[in-house]
Structure 1
Amino acid sequence: MHPIKALTAIPLLTLAACDPAKGGDAAPPRATDTAPTPSQVTLIAVPIDASIAPLKLELERAIPKTLWTINKREKACVPPQRVKLFGRKVKVTPAIPCTIVGRVTRGALRLRGEGNEIVVDVPLNATVAARDVGGVLKGETATGSALAHARIRVDMASDWRLRGKARITYGWTNPPGIDFLGKRITFTDEADAKLKPVIAGVEREANREIGKINLKSQAADIWRQAFTSLELNEENPPVWMRVTPQRILYGGYRLDGTRLRLNLGIEGITETFVSGRPDDPMPTPLPKLVHEAPRPHLDVRVPVIADYAQLQPVVDRALAKRSLRPFVLPKLGAMDVTFGPSTIYGAPGGRIAIGADVEARLQARTGEPTRGRIWMTAIPANGPGSAQVRFTDLTINGDTDGVGGDLLVLLGRSEGFAPLIADALTQNFTRDLDELEGKIRRAVDRRREGAFVIRTRVDDFETGEIKAYGNGLYLPVRLTGAASVDYRPTR
């Protein structure tokens, strides 16, 4: 397997202990620390939809179809007519009495959204008749129509209760009236007087019904289920993000048809695991609502851990290739060297330790070869935002069974050995990170997890500083963007 497949497979294996020759007192100690599980604060948009259709039904029930009726005797339906004669106004016809009868009914209510207001349209139809007008006109019927608008603004308190504030306006599109003796008799004053208490009743009903919309139970259900782990990538590598909500923010609402969409966001701690699904965090009770506009942002740290076992074949192949020609040591001459299997693990101080079994013989000497192990430690490093890894601060040590105990140390410190190991370990993770980025982008684009439909947009994908730990080489990768979650429980 190619060593950098660790970025896509990332098996966290445990290396078996391997004693160096002759007790191995030169072997560097093993690091016991592990790469951290990264955590970050993320705010995920979680809009809640509330249907306002029940509001229409309740208002239909609460507001009677016949709003008012009238049956009233008026002394002067037509005021006295006067003409100017010799500089004075003279009454030529008396005031004409009549009986006014009629009623105002409403049509079917219509609900709509307009900006941040719920608008209830109330069609009004008036039928008004003047009976027995001065004993001359037996009956004349006038019809009129008006359209009332109940405009309701909604607010939500920190205890999750909705509060509505309604105001009613209306205007006559066709004022009720009749023509008599060349005059237009209108009945808008009478209608207006009757409509005022009706309008006040509509306002009260609207406010009361808004308060009945229960969002707390829905919010509590979402809050409880938000303590979960979301799969960012299924395999190669498996990546999970665990969400632990901390606050829930409210930034107003908008209307979409008969649905009231609340702008909510869950702010929480996100932890990322390159492993199987982690345990879900323990839910806490629904907190009070915080009135603060949520600005959704996704900030995920993906821990890319390259197992040391994946690096061993790289070193072994490089050493085997190099052993095909002798090493030349200053003042000692050519040396034939055979390398055994290498050992690689994390050492304290963020270093990586590499041990290689060696059998070496100077070409100018006879006798048994010198056997032992060369140890090298180095610090992995990369530039800001770069996937090009290099190894610096190399140190060499060794332990042999030959009388020339320093021979392998000289070999290790020769110009041809340490750079060879460093070059073999230098990895360009760019290709693997590109593959990982593509997988995560595809995986989190849109997916369902239980009752949630998750939409994620990744805007940036950057690498951090590589570091050696006891369980592997750790290269932090950061994904930033935005995320939203629609709550769509299956029924």
Structure 2
Amino acid sequence: MRAINSLAVTIAAAVALAACDRKVAVDPPPRATDKAPSPTQTSLIAVPINADTTALKRALERAVPKTLWTINRRERACVKPQQLKVFGKEVEVTPPIACTIVGRVTRGPLRLRGVGDEIIVDVPLSATIAARDVGGVLKGETATGAAMAHARVQIDITPDWRTRGTARISYGWTKAPGINFLGKRITFTDEADAKLKPVVRDVEREVNREIARIDIRQQASEVWRQSFTALELNRDKPPVWMRITPQRILYGGYRMEGQQMRLNLGLEAITETFVSGRPTDPTPTPLPNMVREAPTPHLDVRVPVLADYSQLQPVVDRALLKRSARPFVLPKVGPMTVKFGKSTIYGAPDGRIALGVDVAMRLADRSGQPTQGRIWMTAVPNNKPGSAEVHFTDLLINGDTDGVGGDLLITLGQSPGFAPLIADALTQNFARDLRELQGKIKRAVDQRREGAFVIRTRVDGFEIGQIKAYGNGLYLPVRMVGGASVDYRPAK
């Protein structure tokens, strides 16, 4: 024990002499100039487009007249001759009875509805027909009838975004127009059918004409152009942005929702993420031809968790300040009172971080001038696959080894209370930042509006990659997977 105390006194005296002459100076490790990459991945974002079909209804209302047809003609045989079989021969007992047929068929308001991938146009028909001057016996008898015509429309979109359609018209009498006369039922469906055929052709032609006027390309072009943008994933601490650069647009058909035709489109885009201010928007390209392929939306984004060294420095300083309240016990020296100045942290070459800290130290039971100097430490950050817990390995401590003061600095740096303390402070900070960032991103991307877009994002999970030190920070790649959809809703 006397030998150890004597050694401590000798070292303290040497340290004091060294402190009077100069501060211990060491060259800092070189700085790395490389930057963490901006991760790039391909995602497929659902971008459904709604096409309003009310214009089709208005056009049909204009094209299809209220009165579809009228009739006013003399028929020589409204009632055919009645025959009886006499002695095996057919004998007419009544002559054919002539009459005048008058009437008209009108339509009610058109109704549009959607069933699956069909637009159905319902055309209610009403027939009013009269038979007058029936053989001079019946002054007039009015018959009414009703029918429902259905135009079943299917729409196709060509690769260059033009619309074309096919319409099939069908109808049936729910109440055939006719009158009862002389015990017979006289119906007028043949006359009505003959008049309805050209009307059906007109409706089919008008439907196909109006379908061709549905402008899908304009909406698709606007969605495509505005999709060359950057979306904010996290506002600050740290700011995270995702830049979208569309590559292709996929079309997987449509379905009717009320009077809206909802196109199933998917935007295949390169998604890049940046831990910085808003990146510049990519330059839009012209709308490409669509690819007829059912889109399966998926969000696959690499979210870089980048710990800026300036953000790590106060964490280390607080840890060292708290630790300096207790002496450091150095082997063969004894308890040392240590005061720390502000630390310096930056990226060093070969994926290492460098940390320098000013130190003033002296024996706990001695007075006088402390030994002053700077300890430099470099280390390699590591983490286990899928874990945000960071460990620092291959620690190298540097000091001025030409004097006793430098030896003390190295001894302090290698002591159990110094390097593990810094490593633990950085580890805890990084894991906490990652948890907070994940929560912020989930909240930020749940549903939000960006200009004309309403963005809905579902985050299914995060996958953590391998940490690495770069010149601009500690970089932990995190893969965010889930789904995303963008509704185009321009302000009215």
Normalising by structure 1, we get a TM-score of 0.85
- Is 1:394 aligned to 2:382, yes or no? no
Q: Kindly state the Cα deviation for residue 340 of structure 1 after the two structures are TM-superposed.
A: 4.4
Report the 3-state secondary structure (helix = DSSP H, G, I; strand = E; otherwise coil) of the residue aligned with 2:428.
coil
CA contact (8 A) 2:307 2:430 kept: no
CA contact (8 A) 1:75 1:96 kept: yes
CA contact (8 A) 1:371 1:400 kept: no
Q: Distance in 1 between matches of 2:436 and 2:409?
A: 41
Q: Kindly state the Cα deviation for residue 349 of structure 1 after the two structures are TM-superposed.
A: 1.8
Q: Kindly state the Cα deviation for residue 150 of structure 1 after the two structures are TM-superposed.
A: 0.6
Report the 3-state secondary structure (helix = DSSP H, G, I; strand = E; otherwise coil) of the residue aligned with 1:400.
coil
Q: Distance in 1 between matches of 2:281 and 2:239?
A: 16
Q: Distance in 2 between matches of 1:138 and 1:162?
A: 54
1:109: which partner in 2? 110
CA contact (8 A) 1:78 1:97 kept: yes
CA contact (8 A) 2:177 2:189 kept: yes
Q: Distance in 2 between matches of 1:68 and 1:359?
A: 107
Q: Distance in 2 between matches of 1:405 and 1:353?
A: 18
Q: Distance in 2 between matches of 1:312 and 1:233?
A: 22
Deviations 1:295-353 (A, max 9, x none): 22223332222222333344445556368435443xx5547474643432211221112
Cα distance change on mapping 1:311 and 1:235 into 2, 3 Å: closer
Cα distance change on mapping 1:381 and 1:136 into 2, 3 Å: same
Specify every segment of 5 or more residues in structure 2 that has no aligned partner in the other structure, as ranges. 1-21
Q: What letter is aligned with 2:54?
A: A
Report the 3-state secondary structure (helix = DSSP H, G, I; strand = E; otherwise coil) of the residue aligned with 1:223.
helix
1:237: which partner in 2? 238
2:327: which partner in 1? 325
Q: Distance in 1 between matches of 2:406 and 2:233?
A: 53
- Is 1:130 aligned to 2:131, yes or no? yes
Q: Distance in 1 between matches of 2:51 and 2:437?
A: 39
Q: Kindly state the Cα deviation for residue 453 of structure 1 after the two structures are TM-superposed.
A: 2.1
Determine which structure has the larger helix proportion and give its number.
2
Q: Distance in 2 between matches of 1:478 and 1:44?
A: 16
2:37: which partner in 1? 36
Q: Distance in 2 between matches of 1:85 and 1:411?
A: 137
Q: Distance in 1 between matches of 2:146 and 2:315?
A: 88
- Is 1:293 aligned to 2:294, yes or no? yes
Q: What letter is aligned with 2:169?
A: I
- Aligned-residue CA RMSD in angstroms? 3.1
CA contact (8 A) 1:42 1:270 kept: yes
CA contact (8 A) 2:176 2:189 kept: yes
Cα distance change on mapping 1:334 and 1:43 into 2, 3 Å: same
- Is 1:258 aligned to 2:246, yes or no? no
Q: What letter is aligned with 1:141?
A: T
Q: What letter is aligned with 1:64?
A: P
Number of residues paired by the alignment?
Answer: 469
- Is 1:177 aligned to 2:178, yes or no? yes
CA contact (8 A) 2:327 2:338 kept: no
CA contact (8 A) 2:24 2:405 kept: no
The aligned runs of 1:67-106 (5 Å cut-off) are 67-106=68-107
Q: What letter is aligned with 1:465?
A: Q
Q: Distance in 2 between matches of 1:316 and 1:143?
A: 95
Cα distance change on mapping 1:403 and 1:61 into 2, 3 Å: closer
1:451: which partner in 2? 452
Q: What letter is aligned with 1:475?
A: L
Report the 3-state secondary structure (helix = DSSP H, G, I; strand = E; otherwise coil) of the residue aligned with 1:236.
coil
Q: What letter is aligned with 2:279?
A: P
Q: Distance in 1 between matches of 2:30 and 2:173?
A: 92
Deviations 1:60-101 (A, max 9, x none): 211222222333443332222233444554432233333333
Cα distance change on mapping 1:432 and 1:23 into 2, 3 Å: closer
Q: Distance in 2 between matches of 1:104 and 1:187?
A: 12
- How high is the sequence identity, in percent, across the aligned residues? 71
Deviations 1:35-80 (A, max 9, x none): 1122222222222222211111111211222222333443332222
Q: Distance in 2 between matches of 1:314 and 1:148?
A: 77
Q: Which moved more, 1:70-79 or 1:410-419?
A: 410-419
Q: Distance in 1 between matches of 2:255 and 2:57?
A: 18
Deviations 1:355-405 (A, max 9, x none): 344567799x9x998765443322112223322211122233433341687
Q: Which moved more, 1:82-91 or 1:185-194?
A: 82-91
Q: Distance in 1 between matches of 2:403 and 2:370?
A: 8
1:63: which partner in 2? 64
Q: Distance in 2 between matches of 1:347 and 1:283?
A: 39
Q: Distance in 2 between matches of 1:189 and 1:314?
A: 93
Q: Which moved more, 1:34-43 or 1:419-428?
A: 419-428
1:13: which partner in 2? none
CA contact (8 A) 1:40 1:271 kept: yes
